Structures are given as C-alpha cells and as structure tokens.
Chain A
Amino acid sequence: MKVTFPHLGTMHIFCKAIAETAQIPYVVPPETSRKTLTLGVLHSNESICLPFKIILGNFIEALQMGADTIVMVGSGPPCRLGLYDLVQKAILEDMGLHYRWLTIPPRLTLQAIWKNYKETKELKKELSWKNILLFPYGLRMGWKKMMACEALEKLAMKVRPREVKKGETQKHLKKALSGVDEARTLRTLNDALQKGKAILQMTGQDFSRIPLKIAIVGELYTVMDPHINRGVEQKLGELGAEVTRTSWFSTHILRSLRKNKADQNSERIRFFEASKAYLGYDVGAECNLSIGEAIVRSKEGYDGVVHLMPFACMPETTASGILTRVGKDWDIPILTLILDEQEIEGRIQTLLEAFVEMLQWKRKAA
C-alpha cells in the first residue's frame, strides 16, 4: 500500500509527517506544475472549477509514480467540492488507473461511514498493528507541523513588505519550511521552528516603511494554494503590502471538528454577522465570509481587499456580485481575481501592481 494526497499549500509537509510517523508508505505527488494542470484540464471539462483540475492532476501524477491509495478530504453540500470524489473516481477508473480511495468525511455521519465501509475494511487488512498504534502519534506530529508551517507563513507575511532585497523573504521561507519538513521528532521540530523564525528575521528589513494593509478573501483553495493563485500573497508582499488572510488549515479543521467554537470561530462568526446586511442566508462555503470579511476589514482601516475565486465557482460568483456593492458602500477598493487554467501570471502581476499603486494614491489623498 502506498498512500497519496493532493497538494494544497503546505499540506504535503504535514500529511507526509503523519504517514512517516505512523510508518505508512506514501508518495508525495510532484510539485504542482504546468504539466499537472494540463493533465487535469485534459481529463475534465471547461466549467469545472480549477481546484478540481489541479487535484485531479496531482492524483494522476501520483498514481503514475506508484501510489495506490488516495486519501482525500471530503466536504459537504452545497459546493461542488463535496462531489469531487464521485466524479474523480469515475475519471480515474475510465483512464484505466488502479487506485483505492478513502474519503475523510467532513462530519462523521452514519451515511459517511456506510459509504466508506468497504474501502476501510480492505485497508485495515494491509495496516499492521504498529501502524494503527502509531497513528495517533502521527496525527499529533502532523498537527504540530501544520501549526509550525502556519506560524512561519504568518511571520513571512509580516516580513515581506519591509524586505530590502526583493525575493529574499521567499527564499528564507522556503528554507525555514524545509527545516520543518525534515524534523523527525517533536523536539527537533521545535528547534526547526525556532531556527526558521530566526532565518526569516535575518531578512534585511526597512522598518521606516509603513506597508499597505490588504486582506485576501475568497474560496479557500484559491486563497491557500500559491500554485492555484499564482502567488498572489507573495506578489502583494513584494509590492509592499502587508497581507492577511483568515483561511488556514487550522481554521478549517477546527471548524469541521466544531472545536473551540466560541474561541476559534469568533472571527468567522464576526464576519458572518457582518455579511447579514447583504446576504439573508448562508450561501455556503466561504461566500458569506468573503463579504463579511471585506466589511470588517474596511472598518478596521485596511487599505484594500483582494477577492480570489476559481472560474465558475458557485458560491463565490454570488459573493463577487455583492462585493462590487460592498466596495462602494464601505469605500474600500476590492479586486476580484477569477482564476482558471489560462496562463495569466503576467496579467495578475500587472493587475496587482495597478491595484497597489491605486491604494497608495488613495492613502496619500486621505
């Protein structure tokens, strides 16, 4: 058995940690590239959302590298993400690839257990008692690594707009993340985290700058994965803007576990409440939160909002329509970027440059 999982931001680092600690053989799909995307596009149709194509590409590449078991996080209605597995299974089967599929249900319901029963039973045969015993430890390791990655990324977002030499932060971030990736025990992980933070702080910074404050909102895949959004976060940072986002793995995992409801979700609840002036119902996925966050950020004095969504994303299409009005009402510039498989990196760069410049004028005028 060889387990594989899709790429999403730094997800491969902690998925790998779980498998490694539990001593389950795994295959990390090759880094998302043009080829991954081409494979995904080739085997799906034009109006399917971009995350679907990229995940499919990841799976095809991983299966070709010898993986045989796909682990995928499921989701519920009303967004299309909840049916990814159904359609991707049909596609892979039609392509003649052999795989087994394990969906981690977003909520443990009877139906979810029933539909996964066969696969789980089969997998259990291949796992030794050692794997099972080590699994909780693996989960703990994975969680710690995830938190370490997020801490480093958050720090990089702060450092980037003040860097003197363009691109230095990104280089340091990569180094710091690979340090976390290589850590094998909890103690070495802690060391790697401290070391990573130190590396990032070593970046030459100009503290006299007052960077623009921009919030990134939108569909979670496009917000979290730099391959899907063509590095919007990094680009904005290098243009001199301090970027914030609220979509992190920890937020989404805690949300689906319904843990720390009062504490962790307070921000999400705040956004949701704010969106009620425009939306009378929970549209699903991140739609309401995108709108709410834009309003809240405007109140908090942010300079602008970048809204990311895949082409033809159902909930975010509604959000983008409403956000044009939110921007007018709350006097906050909102840039919506619709992403698909087109080679649009250059265009995004130009758009972001213009956006940042506009924000700077606006700030000077105020």
Chain B
Amino acid sequence: MEEKGRIGIPRSLMFYRYFPLWKVFFEELGWRVIVSDGLGKRGKIIYFEDSCLPMKLLVTHSINLRGKVDHLFVPRLVSLHRSYIMCPKFRGAPDIVRLATEGTVSILDETIDLRTREHSMLRSFLKTGKRLGADEKEGKRAFQKAERFFINFQKGWENRINVLSSKDLFQFDIPTSSEKNISPPPRPRQGEAEGELAGEDKREGGYGRLYSPPPLPAPRLRQAGSPSPVKGGGKDIGETSMRVAFIGHPYNLFDTDVNKDILSFAKNLGMRIITPDSLSEKEIDAQVSDLSKEIYWSSGREIVGSLFHFLSGGVDGAIFLTSFKCGIDALLQEFIRRRLKLKGGTSIPLLVLSLDEHSGREGLTTRLEAFKDVIEERKRN
C-alpha cells in the first residue's frame, strides 16, 4: 500500500502500554509510524513546564519529532477505564505539546474517555481516522485489527519483558497487508460481522474491551525477527530465580530514560520480573474495594491494589518505581506505608525508588544489589 504520510508518536507516557494498538491502527490506514528516538546518553531534556520527568520527556520527544512527521499523535487521555480516570496532567498534555512545538505541527489530540459512551476508545479512534481521511468502515476495520493485535500482545507481555532487552520491548512485526490477502476469504466478512457485534458490545458495555478480552479468533502474534537475548542471559532464569514484582506507572517501568534501564539490570541479577499487568482487575479490586474512599485514578488503583496483592505473597520482593513530583504516587506512597504498618507489616521486602533526571545508574544498581542480598538472606532463613 502506498504510504499516505507519517505519524509521529512520542516515546513517552502511555506509549509504553498502548503503542502496539496505535501502531497497528495507523499502519492499517496506510500511514507510516515514526517513533521518537530515546534520549540517549547525552540527550537533553527540554523544560517547558516544571512537571514530573515523564511529562518533560513528552515535550522533549514531541519536539524531537517536529519537522519529521505530518501529524503528531498525542491523544487526550482522560480515562482509560470505565469508572476511573487518569492523572489530570494527561488532560492538558496535548495543549502543552501544542504550545511547546509552537503550533508548527498538526496534533491528533482526540479525547479518550472511557467513562462516557460517546467517547469510547473506538469512537475516539474513528474521529482520528476521519481526520486522516479514512471513512468509518476503514477506521473500524483498522481499529478492530489493532485491538486484536494489542490484546494478544498483552498476553505475551510478561514473557517479553523477561526475554527481550528493554529497547526491543516494542519491536514487533505486524501481519502485513499482503498476508491479509492470502488469508482465507471469510476473514473480511467475519470481520464485518464482528464489527457489528463489537458495536453492540460497546453500546452495552459502554467501554472499550481492552480490559476484558473478547472471544475473538486469536491472531498469530509473530515474534520479532530475532529477539536479541538479554545480556548475560546465559543465567538460568527458571524456577529457582527470584520473583520480583515491579510496580509503578507503565512509563516508569519501561522508559529507560526514566529508570536508567533498571529492568535489564534486575534481569542480570537473576530476578524474574513480574508486573501488575499479570493481575486481573478482580485481584486488584479485592485489595482496594474496602477502603473508606475509592481511589479514583486507574493507575493509582492499580499500584495500590497490586502492591498489596504481591505483598501478601507470591513474590520474593516488590519494587515500587515512582517519579519525583508525581502527585498520585506521593500521596499513595504515604498511604501504602501507613496501611502496611497498620496491617501488621509484611515479611516481603519492599523497595521504593524515586526517579528523576538526576538519578544515576550507579545509585540505582547499588540499591538493587542490596535489595537482592536482602531477598537472598531472607530466603536462606
């Protein structure tokens, strides 16, 4: 298919969860997706506002893409859950990017608010598709393919984290369009039928199905050409290794500019990484539903719920990664600490790492090594 143009996606914030969905959607519509480069070793952060590091990186990456793309994709993420919301900073993010890039690039900033029916994920993407000149049918088809791919991608996520190096986490092949033609003819028809069904689904459920995988035919997820193994991956990451839960916002966990690639270091130390993605919503809810007030941020809920879940057993240690100045984490961190104490503490070690642009790799590795020693000592006793 001929390339219609280029869409730039900043490598920051919710890129670290939804990139597969976004990429497949735009490529299905015939656009080429360009992702900003990482900061690298001497990368300069551009300070437009005095926010948390991930937010500063959004601006930096957006400016990095300016001039290289026709459109910049910075959706206004109000809510990614049927009843909980995102951090308020996400609501102003497209505006901040617009001001920082001084209006030199067109920004695709459709609102995604899964709490309301008319703004459900599909509708928002249809609007984006419309701006790119795709009609509703094309948009729907592209979105459904993207969603299916994304759900499958999510299933293989934990394995990916532990097998691939951090920079390859979001390298993947999408079944190409030529392959689509080879695939059995019933598929498009099936797709249409599904489309209608999915439409029904949405009207009833009122939100995208990202949290409840529908019984769709499983697409073949094809692993990237040759996943480069983790450095020093010769170590046996098997039953005997430590299971360590890494908890935090996805962009803190997977953005190597934020966490200085702490995950690969952890893997080199022989830790098996477990993330909240492996928990179901039910398991998380079970930990937080008895609070005197609902935690209304979906990410905050996930953090508190998964942390309490993991600390009640199943892992050898838990690490909470937070960005300095993150309002949600600051408040909930205090809450977690107090509640743990009130509940009589936990025997599972917990490490809280606060990250910002000044954190050095050495400091993080030292603490991680010490943490490993604590876990091993505990295992021995």
Contacts and interface: CB of A to CB of B under 8 A. Distances in A.
**Highest count of chain A CB atoms <10 Å: which of B50, B87, B99, B330:** B330
Contacts of A52: 331
Interface string A269-306: 00000000011111111010000000000000000000
A285 B339 CA distance: 28
A317 B50 contact: yes
Given A93-B338, A338-B50, A318 B96 contact: yes
B342 interface: yes
B331 A280 contact: no
Q: Which of B92, B333, B341 has the most CB of A within 10 A?
A: B92
Nearest to B338: A90
Contacts of B295: 83, 86
A91 B49 contact: no
B94 interface: yes
Given A49-B327, A87-B331, A78 B292 contact: no
A278 B98 CA distance: 9
B91 A282 contact: yes
Interface stretch (A21-29, A217-225, A254-262, A308-316): A308-316
Contact of A280 (B76, B293, B335, B339): B76
Contact of A48 (B95, B96, B330): B330
B292 A285 contact: no
A314 B89 contact: yes
Interface in A9-53: 44-49, 52
A47 B109 CA distance: 29
A280 B74 CA distance: 13
Nearest to A111: B294
Given A91-B334, A312-B330, A338-B50, A318 B94 contact: no
Interface in B63-83: 76, 78
A325 interface: yes
B48 interface: yes
Contact of B330 (A45, A91, A282, A325): A45
Contact of B326 (A47, A90, A322): A47
A321 interface: yes
A121 B199 CA distance: 46
A89 B292 contact: yes
A283 B91 contact: yes
Given A320-B49, A325-B99, A283 B92 contact: yes
A105 B342 CA distance: 26
Identify the interface centre among A48, A76, A280: most chain B CB within 10 Å of its CB. A280
Interface string B292-329: 11111100000000000000000000000000111111
Contacts of A320: 49-50
Interface in B101-134: 109, 111
Nearest to A89: B292
Contacts of B96: 318, 321-322
A82 B295 CA distance: 9
B296 A86 contact: no
Given A86-B293, A281-B111, A283-B92, A314 B87 contact: yes
Interface residues of A, number: 45
Contacts of B341: 94
B142 interface: no
B51 interface: yes
Contact of A94 (B294, B327, B333, B342): B342
Contacts of A94: 338, 341-342
A312 B55 CA distance: 13
B85 interface: yes
B334 to A, nearest CB: 5
A168 B3 CA distance: 73
A314 B88 contact: yes
A341 interface: no
B291 interface: yes
Q: Which has the most chain B C-beta neighbours within 10 Å: A90, A93, A287?
A: A90
A93 B327 contact: no
B88 A287 contact: yes
Contact of A283 (B48, B88, B111, B324): B88
B88 A285 contact: yes
B334 A86 contact: no
Contacts of A80: 327-328, 331
Interface in A71-87: 76-80, 82-83, 85-87
Nearest to B87: A314
A321 B94 CA distance: 12
A98 interface: no
A115 interface: yes
Given A86-B295, A90-B334, 17 more contacts: A44-B334, A48-B330, A78-B85, A78-B297, A80-B331, A82-B293, A83-B296, A85-B293, A86-B292, A278-B95, A279-B95, A280-B76, A314-B87, A317-B89, A318-B49, A318-B51, A320-B49
Interface of A: 44-49, 52, 76-80, 82-83, 85-87, 89-91, 93-94, 103, 111, 115, 278-285, 287, 312-315, 317-318, 320-322, 325, 338
Going nearest first, the 9 A-B pairs with the smallest beta carbon separation are A321-B49, A47-B330, A318-B92, A90-B338, A314-B327, A78-B88, A77-B296, A94-B338, A86-B293
Interface of B: 48-51, 76, 78, 85-89, 91-92, 94-96, 99, 109, 111, 291-297, 324-335, 338-339, 341-342
17 contacts: A45-B333, A45-B334, A49-B327, A52-B331, A77-B296, A78-B87, A78-B297, A80-B328, A85-B293, A91-B334, A94-B342, A111-B294, A280-B94, A283-B92, A315-B89, A318-B96, A322-B99
